[in-house]
Amino acid sequence: MPLGTLDRTAPPLFNQGPSALSRLVFFSALALLLMVADARFDMVSPVRKAVGAVLYPLQWLALKPVQGVVAAGRYFEDLQGAQRGEAEARRAMVLQAERASQADALAADNARLRALLELRQNTTVPGRAAEVLYDAADPYTRKIVIDQGLTQGIQPGSPVIDEQGVLGQVTLVQPFGSEVTLVVDRNLSIPVQNARTGVRSVAFGDASAGGAGMELRFTSANADVQEGDLLVTSGVDGVYPAGLPVARVERIEKRADTPFARIHCVPMARVGAVRYVMVLAPVGAAAAPAPASEPAAPEAASSKKQPEGRAAARKPGPGRPGEGQSPAAGGRR
């Protein structure tokens, strides 16, 4: 080997085994032989099974991290989907609950309006339905405000009823609303009549009952009043139609220091939870007599003048008054 040159081949002392080309040819021929033998005679199947059995634990261990990552991803996806489904189900449940409550409220309002119309049909006085807006702010009175006023033809003093009975009376009328004093207010009184006995009396709001009851005053201790008697409007005041339920007798107290009994009553109307009411026209305004027509006046005048003409046509005689005397004076003689 000349000096100054680099020989890339190994010295003969370290050259071992066949060359790379020979190994490539050998293994290629072996692979072809094995493929042909496996395809024709299925000779490599036992070897494949043995190798697969030996390598299966290694494959199982190698696939576990991949399967764990895939399972974790699916778990989080399923968890997010379940959370979204739960949120949607909760929203749907809330909507259904709201619709159910609205349906129940509408059904209750419908039943109250039907009962109110049935009570309205029992009276011949015209009326107008109204909705309660809010309770009055005065803590010492029991009043409510409705959405009907002067523009709808509401008159002061008009009776107000609900589906169960008399609720109160209109005490203040504004252009677009009215104030109604409830029957349990201590300043309101209603002439009533016992439906069982027909005895008339006056019912007042009972302030001692916490503003939720009524009291039947000016009733003697020996009067025929029993617990459970129904009190209805008597109609003698010219405001309330007769026969409307007002209250029911709850308790009777008789004291020795007064000749009158203290009778506690429970109002029939729902004074604390009413929403729709009926405003009736006062009985006096509805039944006001019509003015007399003009032709009737001459007829009345002629009927009055006719007896005077006949009396004037009579001649004065003995025992009769003269022309200058009136018939009344003659009667006194």
> Are 142 and 47 within one domain?
no
pLDDT at residue 327, as a whole number:
36
Q: Examine residue 317 and state whether it is found in any structural domain, yes or no.
A: no
CATH number at residue 229: 2.40.10.340
Any bridge partners for residue 129, and if so which? 278
Q: Are residues 249 and 266 in the same domain?
A: yes
Classify residue 326: in a domain, yes or no.
Answer: no
So what's the pLDDT on residue 118?
66
Within 8 A by CB and 6+ apart from 148, the residues are 128, 130, 154, 177, 178, 279
Q: Evaluate whether 202 touches 192 at the Cβ level (below 8 Å).
A: yes
Tokens at 209, concatenated: 């009952």
- The reply to whether 98 and 113 lie within a common domain is yes
User: H/E element holding 86?
Assistant: helix 45-121
Is 7 within the bounds of a domain? no
CB-based contact 166:268 (threshold 8 Å) = yes
Q: Contact, 178 vs 160, CB < 8 A? A: no
Gap between the Cα atoms of 180 and 171, Å rounded: 6
Same domain, 41 and 110: yes
Residue 193, pLDDT score: 92
Residue 114 is inside which H or E element, if any? helix 45-121
Q: Which of 70, 104, 121 is the last residue of a domain?
A: 121
Q: Which domain holds residue 110?
A: 25-121
Residue by residue, DSSP assigns 267-306 as ESS-TTS--EEEEEPPHHHHTPPPPPPTTHHHHHHHHHHH
- The answer to whether residue 197 is domain-embedded is yes
- Residue where one domain finishes, among candidates 121, 139, 164: 121
Residue labelled with tokens 């007002």: 246
**pLDDT reported for residue 192:** 93
Same domain, 117 and 132: no
Give the pLDDT confidence score for residue 156 in this predicted structure: 92
Instruction: Note the pLDDT of residue 15.
Output: 58
Give the chain's residues under pLDDT 70.
1-16, 113-124, 207, 209-211, 285-333
Quick one: 98 and 131 in the same domain? no
Q: Provide the number of structural domains found in the chain.
A: 2
Tell me: do 74 and 191 sit in the same domain. no
In a domain, 269, yes or no: yes
Do 208 and 101 share a structural domain? no
Confirm if 281 and 126 have CB atoms less than 8 A apart: yes
| Residue 115 belongs to a domain | yes
| Same-domain pairing of 109 and 133 | no
Dihedral sign (CA 213, 215, 221, 224): negative
Residue 16 lies in a domain: no
The rounded distance, in Å, linking the Cα atoms of 87 and 98 is 16
Question: Would you say residue 41 lies in a domain?
Answer: yes
What pLDDT sits at residue 267?
93
Task: Report the candidate in 143, 209, 207, 154 with the shortest Cα–Cα distance to residue 177.
Answer: 154
Same domain, residue pair 267 and 180: yes
Kindly state whether residues 180 and 248 are assigned to the same domain: yes
Domain-ending residue, one of 93, 121, 149 = 121
Q: What is the pLDDT of residue 312?
A: 39
242 with 183, same domain: the answer is yes
With residue 237 as reference, give the H or E element that holds it.
Answer: none
How far is 213 from 185, CA to CA, in rounded Å?
9
